[in-house]
Chain A
Amino acid sequence: MKRTIALLALTALLLTSCNSKPTLQKYFVKKAEDKNFLAVDISPTFIKTDKLQLTPEEQTALKSLKNVNIIAFKANDKNVGAYEKELTEVKKILKDDRYEELIKFNRGATGASINTKGEGESIEELVLFANDKTNGFGVVRVTGENMTPNNVMTIVGLLQKANLDMEQLKPLKAMIERK
């Protein structure tokens, strides 16, 4: 009896500790409303492939891609404090949300990292994070299913070949131009 109670308590504890943790997904949702941020969602249809003859390899690569979410923080003179705060938060989330850091670069006020989630070589989430004190920071979250390094490379290749649907990128472009 006691054992059952202890077990239940433990499971409850585990569950709550999971739920209360901020995830990157929640962060994206939350910050989409923030005026300092800009959020863009891109679906794989962004890569226009109707005019291309896709190889089987390219087809599987495209299928492995589900969604791309981007949020960007635009730094200006007034939001330096917010920049520091958000930056720390993103870094903390990347650590807490069990992302595996692949590579990290840091130089003065500029930094970048690539993080993933997934088992072995199949990646479920790929997160690119880049920050610069004068420009702001951006987080690109690519979700998919069974994205292997080869699939990722194939998609990068496709990006160069295919027509891109710029309509989906308009908000980002506007932001860069506003600068």
Chain B
Amino acid sequence: MPQNKNYFKICTMKKLFVAFVFLLIPTMFYAQSAFTKFEDKADITSVIVNKKMFQLMGEMKMDPKDKEAQQYLNMVKKLDNLKVFTTTNTKNANEMKATVDSYLKANPLEELMRINKDGQNIKIFIKSGASSSQVKELLMFMDGTGKANTVLMSLTGNFDLNDISVLTDKMSLPGGPELKKAAAKKQ
């Protein structure tokens, strides 16, 4: 039965292909985070918070009367990933800058704000969601040019730009005042 044999061959080929695709899926997810390489470097201080943490934090019971806490809980549930990298090392700072540049080329984000403050060049980029104040991704890069801290912050999820002030207050994120200004400007 040559025909049957052929059919079997095609069938296995198809299966192999599907298996192959499944094998590739995890690598595709890893490829998404362009900044992973900064996570375990000695000269870079990093803080990574993943979706699961945000989910668990969102499940926590807090005083229902505390409006701010409730707002915070609601906000936290909308977040996926937070990554903050800080360095004073010039070489690392340059590498971060290059990575941000190439990342922005591959994933065009809208520049929300650009600030020059005390020798620090701060740029804030966002990717908007359905409405203009909905944010899917927020990227902030503070270039310390070797003198001050160079900070790279990436926050993903599906949140409102107005929520940011709650977050910066509660989590003491870097560039809090700048982010607040940017959020106010967008409205």
Q: Is A26 an interface residue (CB 8 A)?
A: no
CA distance A105 to B85 in the complex (A): 10
Take A149-B59, A149-B60, A153-B60 as given contacts and tell me if A105 and B53 are in contact as well, using a CB distance cutoff of 8 Å.
no
CA distance A154 to B60 in the complex (A): 11
Collect the chain A residues with CB atoms within 8 Å of residue B52's CB.
100-102, 116
Interface size class of A (residues with CB under 8 A): 20 to 34
Closest to A116 in B: B52
Q: Is A106 an interface residue (CB 8 A)?
A: yes
Q: Is A173 an interface residue (CB 8 A)?
A: no
Take A2-B8, A149-B59, A149-B60 as given contacts and tell me if A106 and B39 are in contact as well, using a CB distance cutoff of 8 Å.
yes
Take A2-B8, A149-B60 as given contacts and tell me if A103 and B53 are in contact as well, using a CB distance cutoff of 8 Å.
yes
CA distance A165 to B43 in the complex (A): 41
CB proximity to B under 8 Å, residues A127-179: 148-150, 153
9-residue interface stretch from A48-56, A58-66, A107-115: A107-115
Determine if A149 and B48 form an interchain contact, defined as CB atoms under 8 angstroms apart: no
Collect the chain B residues with CB atoms within 8 Å of residue A120's CB.
55
CA distance A123 to B52 in the complex (A): 11
CB proximity to A under 8 Å, residues B40-74: 40-50, 52-53, 55-57, 59-61
Determine if A149 and B57 form an interchain contact, defined as CB atoms under 8 angstroms apart: yes
Collect the chain B residues with CB atoms within 8 Å of residue A104's CB.
39, 46-48
Contact with B49, one of A103, A116, A121, A150 (Cβ below 8 angstroms): A103
Determine if B59 and A121 form an interchain contact, defined as CB atoms under 8 angstroms apart: yes
In the A-B complex, the 8 residue pairs with the smallest Cβ-Cβ separation, listed nearest first, are: A102-B53, A104-B48, A107-B45, A149-B56, A106-B46, A149-B59, A121-B59, A100-B52
Chain A residues with a Cβ under 8 A of chain B: 2, 100-109, 114, 116, 120-121, 123, 148-150, 153
Given contacts A102-B52, A106-B44, A149-B59, 9 further A-B contacts (CB under 8 A): A103-B47, A103-B49, A103-B50, A105-B47, A114-B53, A116-B52, A123-B56, A150-B59, A150-B61
